[in-house]
């Protein structure tokens, strides 16, 4: 199995057709994607530092020959991946990230069309069928 759906921060789950299994930072994952880190679920975590540490522990389980794909707009994202062996790939709305959008337009349903860029080079044209600027960022993470 190579596809994961992450459902919360400390109790990671992945799903297959038959059953779900809880992962407590024990599974080795080839590709990890971190979309955002925010002060959510404070009832579960002590504080934002605890949340950030949980993401570091999650990223730490990425295989050395894999990649950690992280939103380059997360404040001090380097702390999350510090000391980890896998390749770190950033994405975001700015050309300071590895992957970023150019020429964003929106249709009448607020769905975006854009050009995905990688270090100044065009990767592909993208047309989303879901509305919102945040989905441009999410699409870049998937590319």
pLDDT band, very low/low/confident/very high, at 103 (cuts 50, 70, 90): very high
| Half-sphere exposure in the Cβ direction for 143 (13 Å, CA) | 26
Chain mean position to CA 56: 13
pLDDT band, very low/low/confident/very high, at 40 (cuts 50, 70, 90): low
Spatial distance between the Cα atoms of 26 and 110, rounded to a whole number of angstroms? 40
Q: What is the pLDDT of residue 51?
A: 82
121 has a pLDDT exceeding 90: yes
pLDDT band, very low/low/confident/very high, at 104 (cuts 50, 70, 90): very high
């Amino acid at each position: 199995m190579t596809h994961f759906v992450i459902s919360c921060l400390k109790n990671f789950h992945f799903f297959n057709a038959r059953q779900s299994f809880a992962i407590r930072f024990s599974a080795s994952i080839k590709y990890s994607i971190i979309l955002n880190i925010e002060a959510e679920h404070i009832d579960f975590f002590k504080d934002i530092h605890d949340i950030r540490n949980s993401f570091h522990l999650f990223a730490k389980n990425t295989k050395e020959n894999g990649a950690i794909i992280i939103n380059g707009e997360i404040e001090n994202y380097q702390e999350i991946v510090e000391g980890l062996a896998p390749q770190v790939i950033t994405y975001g709305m700015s050309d300071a990230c590895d992957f970023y959008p150019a020429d964003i337009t929106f249709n009448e349903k607020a769905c975006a069309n854009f050009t995905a860029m990688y270090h100044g080079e065009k990767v592909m044209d993208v047309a989303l069928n879901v509305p919102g600027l945040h989905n441009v960022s999410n699409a870049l993470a998937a590319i």
